Chains A and B, each alone.
Chain A
């Protein structure tokens, strides 16, 4: 299974754009890149998933370079309610999710 590396923590201010980069050097051809968000005492919540190039939804954008060895989750104009832990997962087709420790994002006023 591909291992992911992401920063342990990040700080930002309200209204700023936040970019969290995840490294996954051993990603395989059939792997997808998925990001989840988790608030304290709640289950993780799906944010976005992609395979290559760029994916955008109403919450975030996901940028994946051609070699797919890294990916960047971009959160536009964060608010205090975006304070959470963000997990980057590389999900092989037909296999199961492996969560790392995630990135603890703190949004300050």
Chain B
């Protein structure tokens, strides 16, 4: 176990709705990264938060937004859900940004109908 937890485990939403996913980082880690993983593909980087500030963003539209709290836990918000948003959403925590090891949570499986 990595000590990274995510909630909820599974979620079903309707197209056009909004969703919030949550991640608790490993104790002592100040950096959280979020990834989207479609079935059969590798994880795609969404964005990273380092000490409550966004520290890099992948090729995702602005309706994907995030937040990191003082305790370094994090939220991923997705507005105006589309069918293609159906995926496994992974968060990973690390100590500082950079090349160091990232510890992944089990993910949240989002299904958009």
The chain A residues found within 8 Å of chain B, CB to CB, are 32, 34, 41-46, 49, 85, 87, 91-102
Contacts and interface: CB of A to CB of B under 8 A. Distances in A.
- Secondary structure call for the A interface: loop
Given A43-B107, A44-B90, A100-B42, 6 more contacts: A34-B99, A43-B4, A44-B104, A97-B43, A97-B102, A99-B44
Interface residues of B, number: 27
Nearest to B4: A43
B42 A87 contact: yes
B104 A43 contact: yes
Contact of B101 (A41, A46, A94, A96): A46
Nearest to A92: B99
B11 to A, nearest CB: 14
A102 B42 CA distance: 7
Nearest to B103: A46
Interface in B1-45: 2, 4, 33, 35, 40-45
B99 A96 contact: no
